[in-house]
Structure 1
Amino acid sequence: MADHTEHFLKLKREIADSYPDFEARASRAWTEIIAELANLVSTVSVKKSEYIPQVNFSELALLPPQTVEEIRRIGTVVIKDVVDDTEARAWQDDLKDFLKTNPDVTGFPEGDKQFFELYWTRPQVQARSHPNLLAASAWLNNLYRTEEPLEGVDLSTPLTYADRFRIRHPGVQWDAHPPHVDSGSIERWEDSAFRLCFDTILSGEWRKHDPYALTNRLNARSSLYGRPSQASVFRTFQGWLAMSETEPTQGTLKVFPDVLLSNSYIILRPFFRPLVPTDSNEILDVKNWVFDISYADFPGILPKEGGFTGPRPTPQTHPHMMLEKTMTSVPKVMPGDAVFWHSDVVHSVEIEHTGKEDSAVMYIPSMPTTPSNKAYVEKQKECFLQARSPPDFPKSSQNFIGIGKAHDLLSPIGAQAMGLPIAV
């Protein structure tokens, strides 16, 4: 879209006209959210990585309700010992051998590839079909809630979403992944079903917002513009499986650890404008912000490849999030541990990797059975069988030496998750 100014202005007016007393209700909520963000900063900046919940895979079914609710609120969890250490390390070794055998695979940065546009290597196929990882995915899917059964939806039967992997080298700076949210960009406001996921926020009752309310998520369209590498499926959680030891400062994941607050602030941010410069010492004072739908900007939403990317909050666009203090590195992980974060969570990757060994992870999200997800998996299955990149990603051949095949799947549930016959 060459010029989206009028489109964005119309969208803001449409939203404002959809809710009674929108200005008054949104302004009251804005004030409350800013106060709560200040409280969060004071807590997170002290606890840091300890603030992120850690649980053991073998204890998922035994977690007390308060721990489950903590995971829901923070939106991020480390699940320990999902896969045996030796098996996870062996996958990293196998991937390195695959890269040596196929040196021309697409990756970045150029000249020192560490993030790879590969989807069907044998270790990836095996990891996604590991019964423990699929069991963890089912547990995460069931954190979502619905008041009644939904046709074609099964949270306990996970599906597979093929993604990539990275093997990050020490001492190399990465700046390609600043704080951002995936799984939809301007779609959060533009798509009517997606917007309903944030209905309580837009109506001023932000404390009632439930990031785990399932119904509207099923129909939400997260990819209106068909931009490459933007997920079109419903992922309950994004995630990765560690194949190495990685700890804070070693190129690990960072998250904003409160999905209720970040959703509430980000969704209302386009309707408010600062009265002082963004670098002013007074920028955090709520009195220096005013309700205004006459400017076209959706802060943090950026044009990209015929569509949009973001939200990408920054200290300038979203100052009350105080990202320099709240973006929290996940705790140390060992090979076979997994990290999952809600699809709305603001996350980034550490710029520095100060460790001495490679930091290696496979990206494996949790994805439940839904009608639209099943339709995607059917298309993805054909890509797998024909050694092509999955539907959500740039088209490329994956027909490399040693590519994974259906017989490499580790379990019947793994075959089912791929849309393949169980007897593979």
Structure 2
Amino acid sequence: MANPADFGPLPPRFAELKKEIVGSYPDFEARATKAWGEILVELDKATKDIAAQGSANVPEVNFSELGSLTPERKEEIRGKGCLVIRDVVDDQEAREWQAWLRSYVAENPVDGVPEHDKQFFQLYWTKSQVRARSHPNILSATVWLNKLYRIRNGDGAKINDVDLETPLTYADRFRIRKPGVQWDVHPPHVDGGGIERWEDEAFRHCFDDILSGNWREHDPYDLENRVRARSSLYGRPNQATVFRTYQGWLALSETAPNEGTLQVFPNVRLSNAYIILRPFFALKDGANPDSFDPDAWRFDSTTPDFHGIYSYGASFVGPRPNTQTHPHLRLEQTMVPVPKVYPGDMVFWHSDVIHAVEKHHTGKEDSTVMYIPAMPYTAVNAAYIEKQKESFLQGVAPPDFPRNKGEAECVGVGKADDIENPIGKRAMGFAIEVA
């Protein structure tokens, strides 16, 4: 985990990146300034509404409903950028996977944090994880999420080497969080790329409407540039190099608000607009940093600041918005916990959504979740899966994660035979042709 004490300012060359962006869009200063004022006005209203509604902001649907949701309901889910899907896996099976995880960490020397009382585990290949990732219901849910993406004005058009209906599996970790322990390692942040959102040309094009001043037209589900965007230019460990439509986790226990659950900012279009334009505006001398008055801010195209992005060795971390860098998000009131979940429920959030883990767990039961995102077939993703498969067979960490001692000798490690159905085998790379 990155230590905030080691973060530093961005290098001067990022001032040149700002100038490049400004020069890439017609009338950038005028259009961006107008958009910035509109976004502040909208945030003032939206953040109050989010704070008032709390967990009710997060849509809830049953797995059995996914095929019959109305277009209006799907648009609501797209707008929020997050949802709970109930009853994806049978409760008893989910509880059994939880018991296997407990046995695994008890019987094996394992990597995790905090060092003195491990609760977030650098483990990828337990039998529970292998079984869960290849479960047909889980893969079916991820396909449904993949298909929320679209080609803008595409009218049924397709992109070569992309198949939203073919799910792939991205191996990630799990946590068994104990009650009463303060958790500071997951403050508000955005996954799926940091400075790359501005620096990588294809990634930047995902936000063309925002940078052109037409922020209300921004579609976080526009597929075309997403599949070409490079989310990891610096090779930082724990930075995904693949395209995930949604991040997600599977609940193996009951977890409610105030019990160490996920928090989200449930308006992905608005938070994107604010985060992407924030580097181009600085507070005027003497102005109130919490002011929603556009006149309190001035256009800034000369400093290297990309607020919420920090230098970390030879790499960069973020976006990590906070109350100082992004005051208009009112994060202390708007990072709402997801509704109570039960074993077998899943929680998903768009890869642009600001999210965090609650600092406090006041419940009585361990909060146990396995991280399982939604990932469609693309040429880049399929190539990664081929490398990930080799990591699985060798019992070592997947390519995007730091090397560790591995799990090959662990008691209860998952094997290829634990993948029990053809769709699961394909998702894990055992029946894929790499483009």
Structure 1 distance, partners of 2:40, 2:388, is 42
Which segment is superposed worse, 218-227 or 34-43?
A: 34-43
Residue 51 (str. 1) matches residue 60 (str. 2): no
Which segment is superposed worse, 40-49 or 188-197?
A: 40-49
**Number of the residue aligned with 2:25:** 19
**Number of the residue aligned with 2:261:** 252
Deviation of 1:7 after TM superposition, in Å, equals 1.4
Q: Secondary structure, in 3 states, of the residue corresponding to 2:369?
A: strand
Q: 1:171 aligns with which of 149, 170, 180?
A: 180
Deviation of 1:412 after TM superposition, in Å, equals 1.0
**Number of the residue aligned with 1:312:** 320
**Number of the residue aligned with 1:182:** 191
Deviation of 1:395 after TM superposition, in Å, equals 1.2
- 1:97-131 Cα shifts (integer Å, max 9, x gaps): 011110x2100001110000000000000000000
- Pair 289,120 (structure 1): closer, same or farther in 2 beyond 3 Å: same
Structure 2 distance, partners of 1:3, 1:353, is 33
Q: 2:39 aligns with which of 29, 33, 42?
A: 33
Deviation of 1:328 after TM superposition, in Å, equals 0.8
**Number of the residue aligned with 1:372:** 380
Q: 1:62 aligns with which of 65, 68, 82?
A: 68
Structure 1 distance, partners of 2:17, 2:297, is 21
**Residue correspondence of structure 1 range 134-145 to structure 2 within 5 A:** 134-145=139-150
Structure 2 distance, partners of 1:33, 1:320, is 10
Q: 1:99 aligns with which of 102, 105, 115?
A: 105
Structure 2 distance, partners of 1:37, 1:66, is 23
**Number of the residue aligned with 1:410:** 420
Structure 2 distance, partners of 1:52, 1:93, is 29
- 1:7-40 Cα shifts (integer Å, max 9, x gaps): 1100000000011110000000001111111111
**Number of the residue aligned with 2:4:** none
Which segment is superposed worse, 402-411 or 134-143?
A: 402-411
Q: Which amino acid aligns with 1:197?
A: C
Structure 2 distance, partners of 1:28, 1:142, is 33
**Number of the residue aligned with 2:134:** 129
**Number of the residue aligned with 1:221:** 230
Structure 2 distance, partners of 1:41, 1:262, is 10
Residue 268 (str. 1) matches residue 277 (str. 2): yes
Which segment is superposed worse, 393-402 or 46-55?
A: 393-402
**Number of the residue aligned with 2:311:** 303
Q: 1:349 aligns with which of 344, 351, 357?
A: 357
Residue 200 (str. 1) matches residue 206 (str. 2): no
Deviation of 1:4 after TM superposition, in Å, equals 4.5
**Number of the residue aligned with 1:157:** 166
Deviation of 1:49 after TM superposition, in Å, equals 0.2
Task: Say if 1:246 and 1:252, in contact at 8 Å, map to a contact too.
Answer: yes
> What TM-score comes out, normalization by structure 1 length?
0.97
Structure 2 distance, partners of 1:373, 1:114, is 29
Q: Which amino acid aligns with 1:299?
A: H
**Number of the residue aligned with 1:191:** 200
Task: Say if 1:157 and 1:368, in contact at 8 Å, map to a contact too.
Answer: yes
Q: Which amino acid aligns with 2:418?
A: D
- Pair 410,276 (structure 1): closer, same or farther in 2 beyond 3 Å: farther
Which segment is superposed worse, 43-52 or 233-242?
A: 43-52
Q: Which amino acid aligns with 2:378?
A: T
Gaps of at least 5 residues in structure 1 are none
Gaps of at least 5 residues in structure 2 are 1-6
Q: Which amino acid aligns with 2:26?
A: P
Task: Say if 1:236 and 1:342, in contact at 8 Å, map to a contact too.
Answer: yes
Q: Which amino acid aligns with 2:176?
A: I
Task: Say if 1:33 and 1:264, in contact at 8 Å, map to a contact too.
Answer: yes
Q: Secondary structure, in 3 states, of the residue corresponding to 1:219?
A: coil
Q: Secondary structure, in 3 states, of the residue corresponding to 2:396?
A: coil
Deviation of 1:306 after TM superposition, in Å, equals 2.1
Deviation of 1:91 after TM superposition, in Å, equals 0.5
Deviation of 1:411 after TM superposition, in Å, equals 1.6
Structure 2 distance, partners of 1:367, 1:88, is 22
Q: Secondary structure, in 3 states, of the residue corresponding to 2:12?
A: helix
Deviation of 1:303 after TM superposition, in Å, equals 1.6
Aligned identity (percent) is 61
- 1:125-150 Cα shifts (integer Å, max 9, x gaps): 00000000000000000000011211
Structure 2 distance, partners of 1:305, 1:402, is 37
- Pair 130,226 (structure 1): closer, same or farther in 2 beyond 3 Å: same
Aligned residues: 420
**Number of the residue aligned with 2:411:** 401
Structure 1 distance, partners of 2:13, 2:130, is 42
Deviation of 1:282 after TM superposition, in Å, equals 5.3
RMSD: 1.4
